[in-house]
Amino acid sequence: MKATAWMGTDSVKVIDVPDPTIMNARDAIVRITTTAICGSDLHLYHGYIPAMRKGDILGHEFMGEVVEVGPQVRNLKPGDRVVVPFPIACGHCSSCQRGLYSVCENSNPNAGIAEKIMGHSPSGIFGYSHLLGGYAGGQAEYARVPFADVGPLKVPDEVTDDQAVMLADVFPTGYMGAEMCDIKPGQVVAVWGAGPVGLFAAASARLLGAEQVIIIDRYPYRLRLAEEHIGAETVNYEESDVLDTLNEMTAGRGPDACIDAVGLEGHHGNAAMYAYDRAKQAARVETERPFALRQAILACRSGGVVSVVGAYGGFVDTFPMGAFMNRSLTMRTGQCHVQRYTRPLLDRIQRGEIDPSFIVSHRMPLRDAPKGYKIFQKKQDDCTKVLLKV
């Protein structure tokens, strides 16, 4: 089959690889119909996530048709149309029983590697390094889905691929980011990053009752999308001082909750600070550029919530711990527990509360995946989200 493979830093290629097969009684094989390039795939593309090997198959946002199931998979059958959550979860361990699917205790066969870096291991993830299991991803013609009796969600005919594939990651991740804010009526929520996760975090904050939603970014086309589709107010951090602007918009208090939807490859309008973090990251002295996280902490009202759903992989520098502690802030974070959200968010789509396909800017065949990565990386042609059609 054809699959998108990581070939080294800033290099992907569509290559021929063996078709996946059933390896466990709880496996399923899915023929991919639509898969997506995620912003966190760019962290792999740029070489910032450890334990990648040449030829690893990328992709953790995918959906398609079940073609084969193992003998213990009784909830699915060949022909079912499904979307697959990106965390691989067993459904039976202590974490899964508490709905914490992205920290499943049984799905990462390389847990020992992760424990050396993180203390304890999170779950396995499709197409996201050997640190997180070394599983083949879904930017391919077929994928093996472990624990298929737990993860995949059947998709009704009236829901399009472009809508359903958003349930694999970005829509649930943005929703969880907003949910962790404990939004009350009348509150103000600020979101750093107008990429797919940030846009869904802002849209979800609206769904959950926020009175005012503010998105911070530097790309005019992404800010327009936030204004037109979500009704958010926007701040271009290359044109305005973010902290001063947020204080002006909130009568000096700051937002009630701040969401970091940027993660480890942040950009900063301050040239000196950007050069400092960029140089340290390039030398691998630090692994992250946490501009958004620092700003979110400083901007948040005292006693407020900082929600972090932008992806981080290692260690940050110059973290404002003094502000965080002395102003009684609360931080909530985590890779999304997607299996917890797929059904209720599918229900919202079916009720017409939101059409998540509004973020899609590019559709192209799987063979053009290298082009898709370059367009997405460089933000060319007003690129917001690339779908690969198989």
* Count of CA atoms in the C-beta half-sphere (13 A) of 366: 23
Q: How far apart are CA 209 and CA 275, in angstroms?
A: 38
- Strands 124-125, 11-16: pairing is unpaired
Q: How far apart are CA 236 and CA 128, in angstroms?
A: 31
pTM: 0.96
Q: Is residue 359 classed as helix, strand or coil in its secondary structure? A: helix
Q: Which two tokens stand for residue 362?
A: 């590019």
* Count of CA atoms in the C-beta half-sphere (13 A) of 113: 15
Q: Which helix (H) or strand (E) holds 112?
A: helix 111-118
- Residue whose tokens read 């070939």: 7
Q: Is residue 1 classed as helix, strand or coil in its secondary structure? A: coil
Closest of 170, 160, 167, 171 to residue 33, by C-alpha: 160
Predicted confidence (pLDDT) per residue in 222-247, tens digit: 999 999 999 999 999 999 999 999 99
In this model, does residue 180 exceed pLDDT 70?
A: yes
In this prediction, residue 34 has a pLDDT band, given cuts at 50, 70 and 90, of very high
Query: Rg of the chain's alpha carbons, rounded to an integer?
Result: 20
Q: How far apart are CA 371 and CA 390, in angstroms?
A: 15
In this prediction, residue 10 has a pLDDT band, given cuts at 50, 70 and 90, of very high
In this model, does residue 284 exceed pLDDT 80?
A: no
Predicted confidence (pLDDT) per residue in 289-301, tens digit: 889 999 999 999 9
Residue 270: the pLDDT is 67
- The crossing angle, in degrees rounded to 10, of helices 196-207 and 220-230 is 20
**Exposure b/e, 30-43, CB count within 10 A at least 16 = b:** bbbbbbbbbbbbbb
- The crossing angle, in degrees rounded to 10, of helices 342-350 and 170-179 is 100
In this model, does residue 81 exceed pLDDT 90?
A: yes
**Among 168-172, 194-198, 268-272, 307-311, whose mean pLDDT is lowest?**
268-272
Q: How many CB atoms lie within 10 A of CB 197?
A: 32
Q: Are 165 and 189 in contact (CB under 8 A)?
A: no
* 29-173-114 Cα angle (round to 5): 70
Mean pLDDT of the chain: 95
Residue 271: the pLDDT is 65
In this prediction, residue 288 has a pLDDT band, given cuts at 50, 70 and 90, of confident
In this model, does residue 130 exceed pLDDT 90?
A: yes
Q: Which helix (H) or strand (E) holds 243?
A: helix 242-249
Q: Which domains does the chain have, with CATH numbers?
A: 2-169+336-389 (3.90.180.10), 171-333 (3.40.50.720)
In this model, does residue 316 exceed pLDDT 90?
A: no
